[in-house]
Amino acid sequence: MPEQGADLRGFMEAAGRSLAEAQGALAGEIVDVPTAVAISEAELEVKAAVVRRADGVMALETISTADMRSGGIAPGLVSTLRLQYVAVTADSAVAPSEQPTKTPGDVIAGVKRREDVAVLDKILGGLLYEAIYVPGRRRWLVTAKDAEQRLVREVLVPDDRR
C-alpha cells in the first residue's frame, strides 16, 4: 500500500529547487546578476495537515475546501507551513556600519523563547540551533533542526539597534 501524503522534506527541497530555477530564469545567460534584479527573499505559505506516516516520515496531506466545509476536518488539525528563503551573497566582508548589534547566542535565546519553537523543542526532544547574520538586510537567519538534522523551523530576526 503506498504511503499517504507528500514527504515534507521532499516538498521543502522541491520548493527550494523551484526558487533556484526561478532565480536562474531571471538571470538567463548573465553570470554576475546585479542584486537589484535577483530574488533576495521569498515566502511560500501552505495550509495542510502535517502527519507522521507509518514509516516515521513527516508528510503533508492536502485538505480541500469541501473537507473543511463538511466538518470532516477539525480546524485545529490544519497546519500553516511557512517557508522563507533568504539569498545570502558569498561576500563575507561586512562594513562597520553593517556589523550586527546582537550576538548569535542572544538571537538564538530569543527564538528558543518563542512558544511555537519551545513546543517543537519539547516534542522533538531538543533542537539544534544556528544563527547566521545577513548584513545587507540587518537580519539574522536562525535555523532549528532535530537530532536527525531535519530542518523544523527557520526564523528571520531583525537586528534592531540596542
Per-residue pLDDT of 34-83, as tens digits, reads: 544 456 677 888 888 888 888 888 888 877 777 777 877 766 678 888 88
Please say if the pLDDT value at position 130 is more than 80. Answer: yes
CA distance 93 to 99: 10
Cell 536562525 belongs to 142
Closest CA to 57 of 154, 155, 153, 150: 150
Nearby residues of 125 by Cβ (< 8 Å), 6 or more positions away: 146, 147
Structure confidence by residue, pLDDT tens digits, 88-111: 555 555 667 778 889 999 999 999
State the pLDDT at residue 112: 94
Confidence label for 87 from pLDDT (cuts 50, 70 and 90): low
Q: Report residue 127: phi and psi, to 5°.
A: -120, 155
Cell 480541500 belongs to 64
Per the prediction, the chain carries an average pLDDT of 79
If DSSP states are collapsed to H, E and C, what string results for the chain? CCCCCEEHHHHHHHHHHHHHHHHHHHHCCCCCCCCCCCCCEEEEEEEEEEEECCCCCEEEECCCHHHHHHCCCCHHHCEEEEEEEECCCCCCCCCHHHCCCCCHHHHHHHHHCCHHHHHHHHHCCCCEEEEEEEHHHCEEEEEEECCCCCEEEEEEEECCCC
The domain segmentation of the chain, as residue ranges, is 1-87, 91-162
Closest CA to 15 of 6, 2, 3, 28: 6
pTM above 0.75, yes or no: no
Q: Are 41 and 86 in contact (CB under 8 A)?
A: yes
